[in-house]
Structure 1
Amino acid sequence: MIFLQQETADPSVGSLLLKTATSMLREVLLRLPELARELEQPKTKHRTLLAKLASALPVSQEWTLALDELEDSGMDLRPRLPLPGERELTGASRGLERTAVPLSEIVVPLKLDPLTVADDSAFLDRIENQINLPNYVKTGINTLY
């Protein structure tokens, strides 16, 4: 059982069952390219899956993904500092004309990860293959499970 309701949270989250949320996420992640193509089209009243998902939420609202660094938003996620001895800032230059690639050509279907280690039979194998973890973590974590 999971309890997500809190006073400062979106009311839709607290009333959503974990089973429902997991099912919705699994379906949406598998259909990312299709949904991206749908978003690239002018808005219509009958957005198939998006409309279905929105109607499942108790509060009427439109949710979108804010994907980092797909196009310049005027907000930098990292400092753009000059390199030693240089005057130019690092990172992408502002104001350059760029041809945007449609989101539907970038995203791919994704599989929802299991929610817990107990649900994930491949968890320990994936930990052992992480190049950013020290060996004592990779080998020692098996003794905890």
Structure 2
Amino acid sequence: MSLRTLTLSLLLTLLAFGPLSAAIGVPVTPATTESATATEAAALEAAREYTASLKSMTAKERRTLKREQRRAVKDALENHQDASTNTILLVILAVLLPPVAVLVYEGELNNKFWIALLLTLLFYLPGLIYALLVIFGNM
């Protein structure tokens, strides 16, 4: 078995089986009913306090508060990116075609793409490593 085939099979195995803690078998303990009840009670108390604070506000203050809350939710939704899914897809693409993964990640033809292409053409493994460094370098 060549080094290239061994490396590729190792990477695909790691991607298929997920994080190491899952492979080792670290037990995951579910939340106890007491802590869940305490959390629910705290949430209900916070909701009561919020309702009471709304009743003590004037109509103009309530409108301003609601507007700020809607703006905050809208900003959070616009800025949210599903990084885990994008990263997994980029890693799979990097394993298959490292220069294309760099191109998709960068969004343009730049020096990083040409370096990845050159490294991949010289030998596959340096191109793969470079593509993974580009993808995970900003995290």
TM-score, structure 1 as length reference:
0.23
Q: Which structure's residues are more often helix, by fraction?
A: 2
User: How high is the TM-score relative to the length of structure 2?
Assistant: 0.24
Larger RCO: 1 or 2 (CA < 8 Å, sep 6+): 1
